[in-house]
Amino acid sequence: SAGDSTRERSSGLARVGINASLLSGGDTYRAAGVATYIRHLIEELPAAGPEHEYIPLTPPGEHAVGGRPSHLPTHLPSVRVVWEQTVLPQLCRKHRLNVLYSPASIAPLTLPVPSVVTVHDLAFLRYPQYFTAARRLLIAPLVRRSVLSAARVITPSGSTRGDVLEQYGVPPHLVEAVPEGVSAKFTRSDVPSPLGRSYILHVGTIEPRKNIDMVIRAYSRIRQLGIRHELVLIG
């Protein structure tokens, strides 16, 4: 298999593993932003980089294209953390991966292949009051080690890129801001308004760190200016 891996590299073909342990198809909290990000990456990467092979490593029951579902209940957070740190490195060898991409800020601490990681934000450092002490103690060291050991770090914005550079001292050329794409379904003009009138839409989980109170205060201000759009919060 070592010879096969060498030939794949020389031919330009890379076997890219995707840590899709947060992928979720159900209508639950887990199916929010990061799961949507992962699902669309799995769908779009083959067209964006057809010269490579993409192998999503998914939770049980999640049959993404080309995916390898886990035999363990990785939809449970405690199981997922252990799986990522112990089983996932073994899967990199089993599937002869050339690189592992972790799209949810945390990668295995020991890997036999180069690591690429997306850090969506550092809210647990910038706004610690919105996280339990136990969650901060778990996330902070894992994200730090994941970033410092990565061959490349992706952020969805220049703001988060600046946070990563400031907090971890990573060489700037290793951190790249890659804006998130927009699904074609959001460009359709033939979808009728569900309210029958104009509205301002907020999409995101309903929790304090989303700063929804600021959205409501801003909406109150523009109402005073004569704007008559409805404000819709859909969670």
Cα(41)–Cα(183) distance, integer angstroms: 11
Q: How far is CA 160 from CA 118, 123, 212, in A?
A: 10, 10, 20
The secondary structure element, H or E, covering residue 116 is strand 115-118
Whole-prediction pTM value?
A: 0.82
3 state SS of 30: helix
pLDDT digit string, tens, across residues 75-127: 888 899 999 999 999 999 999 999 999 999 999 999 999 999 999 999 999 98
Distances (CA, A) of 63 to 4, 21, 113, 135, 183: 26, 12, 24, 29, 21
pLDDT in tens, 128-181: 998 899 989 999 999 999 999 999 999 999 999 999 999 999 999 999 999 998
Report how far apart, in Å, the C-alpha atoms of 182 and of each of 41, 44, 188 are: 11, 11, 12
